[in-house]
Amino acid sequence: MKDISCKLLVIGAGPGGYVCAIRAGQLGLDTVIVDPGKPGGTCLNVGCIPSKALIHAAEEYDRIAHLAHGRNPLGITAAKPEIDLSQTIAWKDGIVGRLNSGVSGLLKKAKVKIVQGHARFRDGKTVEVETETGLQIIRAENVVIATGSAPVELPNLPFGGPVISSTDALSLTSVPERLVVVGGGYIGLELGTAFAKMGATVTVVEAQSRILPQYDAELTRPVAKRLQALGIAVMTGTKAKGLAKAGGSLLVEAEDGSEKALEGDRILVTVGRRPVTRGWGLDELVLDMDGPFIRIDERCQTSMRGIYAIGDVTGEPMLAHRAMAQGEMTAEIVAGHRRVWDKRSIPAVCFTDPEIVTVGLAPDEARRTGVEIKLGQFPFSANGRAMTRMGEDGFVRVVARADNHLVLGIQAVGQGISELAAAFSLALEMGARLEDIAGTIHAHPTQGEAFQEAALKALGMELHI
């Protein structure tokens, strides 16, 4: 097989990798991208997109199920619904397939050469790829490592049999009667909530003292309230010990040392993700590491000249849109543009019920910087649009400096609040002050008005509360 030489080689076709390759191709760089699977990586194939499809199907089923009870204020009744999860999964797979084709088309349009197979470094400029037709050697002037992350596997709960990962959960063809979720973070709660809405009896086991520990308690309170309403049992301060000898239940240990067996047809382990740093020849390179992650500078440059790294393999936050932004920037740097990674805010969205959005600094984080702050918070119980959608539980909160009113952070929890993430991020990226948000005319009736009202509240000029 003839060797390939190129200006830029991208290892990994996830959100960061394929965006990097597309932008590089658009800039006229001779670019090759390598991945063993379909383009799109974890996010498109077994993560962000499939999980949101499942969450939407669960929401629709739950909505109709409530209408079927006839006990709702809307005056609507419906027949008892049924769900064929295999058909739902087929619909999800169809969406993923269309997006796969779309990414492949964009790569080809940008004249990027796609090589399918497992890449492994021989040295800092040479990579060998095991393809179906043989060993392909690629020599590149610049390399971008975008190998992503994988689910963390617990030693006492290895994946297999009843123990499944988030990837496995998104391929189930029937709703488990009993589901035990190990991990009360965003992945576990998103999927656990979806299966509960589809009829599963769900128990969440979290080792820490509360669910979603990365968020402040005020933000997670509406989520905890909704979990209770859905009948989801949440066991905090509880550790998963392993499967019982019979294999049909999970042994857990509470803070007081007592043990209990939880029956579950499936045990979904969602205790985090780890960077993929094995299997592609890391030992052939001399890269500085930051714990398990590859250390990079403000240009995504590693400790070896001509080798860059982006996305989950470089550390937190492990978010697809962070990887995309890094990929675009890195391609422009290789093309000779002057760019640095200097983002004021990277939005984080938790697609629970209700949803959570955070950008910038939370109140406690802002206080730790030593500046005096102003807070403005507006509840959705006072927002007309939220009330008409029966989504009154939640709020928008704005954190700003007290001296010059510069916005430092925005947090929100509420139904469909993820769609306001762009407005929140734009405000921080452009250096908005409270007066900028308060003085922007927001459409009525929308949930976005809560953003304006929160800024008004921080200024002491609130109108509707």
- Tell me the C-alpha distance between 286 and 67, whole Å: 61
In the CATH hierarchy, which top-level class contains the domain 348-458? Answer: alpha beta
Q: Which residues contact 167 (CB under 8 A, 6 or more apart)?
A: 46, 47, 151
- Asked whether this chain's domains 4-46+89-150+274-334 and 163-271 adopt the same fold, the reply is yes
Dihedral angle computed from the Cα positions of residues 8, 9, 12 and 14, in that order, rounded to the nearest 10 degrees: 20
Q: What share of the chain is helix, strand, coil (3-state, %, to 5)?
A: 35, 25, 40
Q: Report the pLDDT value the prediction gives residue 48, as an integer from 0 to 100.
A: 95
Domain spans of the chain, in order of start: 4-46+89-150+274-334, 163-271, 348-458
pTM above 0.85, yes or no: yes
Cα–Cα distance for residue pair 348/371, rounded to 1 Å: 24
Q: What's the half-sphere exposure (Cβ side, CA atoms, 13 Å) at 448? A: 15
CATH number (3.40.50.2000, 3.30.465.10, 1.10.287.890, 3.50.50.60) of 163-271 reads 3.50.50.60
By C-alpha distance, which of 102, 117, 131, 134 is closest to 15? 102
Q: Which residues belong to the active site?
A: 444
| The CATH number, out of the four listed (3.40.50.2300, 3.50.50.60, 3.40.50.720, 3.40.50.10140), of the domain defined by the range 4-46+89-150+274-334 | 3.50.50.60
Per-residue pLDDT of the chain (465 residues; tens, 9 = 90+): 899 999 999 999 999 999 999 999 999 999 999 999 999 999 999 999 999 999 999 999 999 998 888 778 888 889 989 999 999 999 999 999 999 999 999 999 999 999 999 999 999 999 999 999 999 999 999 999 999 999 999 999 999 999 999 999 999 999 999 999 999 999 999 999 999 999 999 999 999 999 999 999 999 999 999 999 999 999 999 999 999 876 679 999 998 899 999 999 999 999 999 999 999 999 999 999 999 999 999 999 999 999 999 999 999 999 999 999 999 999 999 999 999 987 878 999 999 999 999 999 999 999 999 999 999 999 999 999 999 999 999 999 999 999 999 999 999 999 999 999 999 999 999 999 999 999 999 999 999 999 999 999 999 999 999
Q: Where are the alpha helices (DSSP H) in 230-371?
A: 320-334, 363-368
Cα–Cα dist 92/267, whole Å: 22
Structure tokens at 423: 């407005």
Token pair 């009896």: residue: 201
Residue 428 CA: distances (Å) to CA of 4, 53, 61, 260, 397: 44, 30, 37, 47, 14
Tokens of 348: 């984080």
Q: What pLDDT score was predicted for residue 246?
A: 66
